[in-house]
């Protein structure tokens, strides 16, 4: 099971955090800090797996991938295949790429909720739902269409209330 998905920039600022088990906010911050402190010391050309026993609890591993300024980190237990998780990061980033075309850190900061929507279409409750980035994009587009529609509804009700109130 995947227990957390975290995106941190190379300054240690978390850009996206998603925990699939209940974790208190303080603990989340503690975890992010310790992950960053490990990541920023990783030299180049080493493996992308880190055993997390000492700071993430027993039987937890961490796989990370560095894209430009961002670390994408998945935390999971031994029931998952490391390389498969590694690939999943790639799928996530490829999907982001499709969504934002030439994705950069700023896109992620500005489209925070979209990041979550995409992630939710990929991983649900710590399990992989969909690995096909086309399908993920389809679902995401549907949702954003729905969002736009509800936005229109809101606009309407407001003007209506102005008219009648």
Number of residues that bind other proteins (CB under 8 A): 42
Q: Does 83 bind other proteins (CB under 8 A)?
A: yes
Q: Does 21 bind other proteins (CB under 8 A)?
A: no
Among 5, 7, 35, 88, binds other proteins (CB under 8 A): 88
Rg (CA), the chain: 18
DSSP per-residue string spanning 71-124: EEEEEE-TTS-HHHHHHHHHHHHHHHHHHHSS--HHHHHHTHHHHHHHHHHHEE
Applying CB under 8 A, the span of 11-19, 47-55, 69-77, 104-112 interacting with other proteins comes to: 47-55
Q: For the segment 99-118, give every residue that binds other proteins (CB under 8 A).
A: none
Q: Does 139 bind other proteins (CB under 8 A)?
A: yes
* Contact (Cβ atoms closer than 8 angstroms) between residue 119 and residue 18: yes
Compute the distance between CA of residue 129 and CA of residue 123 in angstroms, rounded to an integer: 5
Q: Does 134 bind other proteins (CB under 8 A)?
A: yes
Q: Does 58 bind other proteins (CB under 8 A)?
A: yes
In order of 20, 74, 105, the CA distances from 6 in angstroms are: 11, 6, 14
* Contact (Cβ atoms closer than 8 angstroms) between residue 72 and residue 89: yes
Applying CB under 8 A, the residues found at the interface with other proteins are 43, 45-51, 53-54, 58-59, 79, 81-84, 86-88, 90-91, 120, 124-125, 127-135, 139, 149-150, 152-153, 155-156, 159
């Amino acid at each position: 099971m995947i227990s957390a998905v975290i995106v941190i920039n190379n300054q240690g600022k978390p850009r996206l955090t998603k925990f699939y088990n209940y974790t208190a906010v303080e603990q989340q911050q503690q975890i992010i800090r310790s992950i960053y402190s490990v990541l920023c010391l990783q030299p180049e050309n080493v493996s992308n797996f880190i055993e997390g026993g000492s700071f993430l609890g027993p039987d937890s591993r961490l796989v990370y991938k560095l894209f430009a300024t961002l670390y994408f980190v998945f935390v999971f237990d031994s029931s998952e295949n490391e390389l498969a998780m590694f690939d999943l990061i790639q799928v996530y980033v490829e999907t982001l790429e499709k969504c934002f075309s030439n994705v950069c850190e700023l896109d992620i900061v500005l489209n925070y909720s979209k990041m979550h929507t995409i992630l939710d279409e990929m991983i649900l409750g710590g399990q992989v739902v969909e690995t096909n980035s086309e399908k993920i994009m389809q679902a995401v587009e549907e949702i954003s269409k729905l969002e736009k529609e509800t936005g229109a509804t809101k606009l309407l009700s407001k003007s209506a209330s102005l008219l009648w109130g």
